[in-house]
């Protein structure tokens, strides 16, 4: 067990999300940065889709009631184990009674915490990803007891650690988001299409697990569409010119024109961008 001494700002369990429940309008959910979350599991030789704790900005303070191995992945964070600073992206051995405190995510938005063997939490529609109204909890709370699987061998990760597995931070320095055309891209004029694919945009202060909004106003004459399917990565353009990139907790339908669609890698990259950071869309061919 892990006892939550302090839950942090917004800490949730996430895995690869839900499949097969869009017919009930249940969002996909799942980790915002698939790359970082997957690496956390791989560093511990877990299966890539094991649930992880997704930690944003100010992280939790956790008391370990049994020994395990864990890793925090992400761009940069201030992490302490028993008040001693420890590195991100490296496997740590923890003993019974140890206290891990992820004080601050200092670069990017999300840090992922995985433990050897994985966590156990409520499975709802084949996923442990937290979502309000679907899972019993929407975020980790103070005094929660987080259960860990018993099915791991502590020696494994230390003896067979993959030397070649390393968090590739350079890829996050890129401001190019690879996109496909959205269903209503062709409704934009040639000039607007070029502008959308060549201009530099910046992230607004409005970003969360549902959507990241862009600061610049992109004037347009597109009409609303009849309510149609949207997925994580869909870029909607509102009549008043707001560009909204839908993320993992997005609703499953929307009524705004869908001008672009981010690829999966671009979603991971965008997930770690903060307010005022620049982004540029670059078209991929299907």
**Footprint of other proteins on this chain (CB under 8 A)?**
19-27, 124, 133-134, 180, 182-183, 226-229, 231, 233-234, 251-253, 258, 261-264, 286
Output the smallest distance, CB 264 to other proteins, in A: 6
Instruction: Work out the widest C-alpha separation in the chain, in whole angstroms.
Output: 62
What tokens were used for 98?
């140890």
C-beta closer to other proteins: residue 168 or 251: 251
Cβ atoms of residues 208 and 244 within 8 Å: no
**114 vs 250, which CB is nearer to other proteins?**
250
Alpha-carbon distance of 60 to 156, in angstroms, equals: 27
- Least distance (Å) between residue 132 CB and other proteins: 9
Residue closer to other proteins by CB (options 69, 184) is 184
CB of 25 to other proteins, least distance (A): 4
Strands (E), 127-268: 145-148, 176-181, 201-207, 211-214, 228-229, 234-237, 243-246, 253-254, 258-262
Give the Cα separation of 221 and 204 in Å (integer).
22
With a CB cutoff of 8 Å and minimum separation 6, the contacts of 141 are 4, 7
In the complex with other proteins, the residue whose CB is nearer, 104 or 228, is 228
Closer Cβ to other proteins, 28 or 89, answer by number: 28
Q: How far is the CB of 232 from other proteins (least distance, A)?
A: 8
Scanning the chain, the segments in alpha helix (DSSP H) are 34-43, 154-159, 190-198, 264-271
| Shortest Å distance, C-beta 30 to other proteins | 12
């Amino acid at each position: 067990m892990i006892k939550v001494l302090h839950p942090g700002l917004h800490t949730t369990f996430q895995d690869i999300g839900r499949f097969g429940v869009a017919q009930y309008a249940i969002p996909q959910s799942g980790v915002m940065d698939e790359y970082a979350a997957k690496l956390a599991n791989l560093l511990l030789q877990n299966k890539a889709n094991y649930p992880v704790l997704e930690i944003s900005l100010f992280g939790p303070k956790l008391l370990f009631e049994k020994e395990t191995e864990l890793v925090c992945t992400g761009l940069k964070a201030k992490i302490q184990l028993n008040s001693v600073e420890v590195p991100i992206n490296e496997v740590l051995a923890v003993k019974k009674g140890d206290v891990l405190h992820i004080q601050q995510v200092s670069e990017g938005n999300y840090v992922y915490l995985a433990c050897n063997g994985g966590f156990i939490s409520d499975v709802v529609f084949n996923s442990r990803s937290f979502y309000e109204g679907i899972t019993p909890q929407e975020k980790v709370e103070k005094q929660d007891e987080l259960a860990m699987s018993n099915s791991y061998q502590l020696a494994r990760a230390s003896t067979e650690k993959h030397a070649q597995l390393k968090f590739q931070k350079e890829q996050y320095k890129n401001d190019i988001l690879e996109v496909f055309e959205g269903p209503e891209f062709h409704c934009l004029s040639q000039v607007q299409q070029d502008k959308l694919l060549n201009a530099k945009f910046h992230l607004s202060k409005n970003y969360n697990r549902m959507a990241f909004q862009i600061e610049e106003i992109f004037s347009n004459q597109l009409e609303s569409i009849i309510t149609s399917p949207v997925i994580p990565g869909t870029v909607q353009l509102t009549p008043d010119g707001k560009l909204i990139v839908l993320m993992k907790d997005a609703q499953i339908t929307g009524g705004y024109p869908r001008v672009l669609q981010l690829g999966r890698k671009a979603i991971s990259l965008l997930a770690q961008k903060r307010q005022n950071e620049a982004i540029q869309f670059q078209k991929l061919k299907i």
